[in-house]
Amino acid sequence: MESSSPTVEQIAAAGHRRRRDADRLKKSSAELRELVLSALREGRLKPTRVAEASGWTGAHVRKMAREAGIEPDERYRERAERLRKAQEPADA
C-alpha cells in the first residue's frame, strides 16, 4: 500500500472486495457442505476421508452430519460402544 493517505475510493474498493470475497466464501462453503453431506449419505467414502478431503475437521463434519440427520454407521456405533465399555472402571 502507498505511503500517502488512503482515498475514499480505495477504502470503498477494498470494502467491495471484502464483501465479494465473503460472498464467495459463503457460497463455496455451502457447496462444499452439500457435497460432504451427499457423500456421507451415500456411504461409499469413509467419513474420515471425506473430512480430510474437505479441509474441515472430523468433528466439524460429524456435527454437520448429525445436524443433517445422518447417523454414524452401525459398525462404528458398535465399535465405539465396545471401546467405551472397555475403558470403564471394573467396579463401575
Identify whether the C-beta of residue 61 lies closer than 8 Å to the C-beta of residue 54: yes
| Predicted local confidence at residue 9, as pLDDT | 97
Residue 84's pLDDT band (cuts 50, 70, 90): confident
SS3 content of the chain, % helix, strand, coil (to 5): 75, 0, 25
Residue 77 neighbours by CB under 8 Å, 6+ apart:
71
Mean per-residue pLDDT for 3-18?
94
pTM: 0.70
At 44, list the grid cell: 461409499
pLDDT tens digits along 29-82:
999 999 999 999 999 999 999 999 999 999 999 999 999 999 887 777 777 788
- Inter-axis angle of helices 8-42 and 58-67, nearest 10: 70
Of 23, 27, 38, the C-alpha closest to 68 is 38
**Confidence check: pLDDT of 24 > 90:** yes
Mean per-residue pLDDT for 6-35?
97
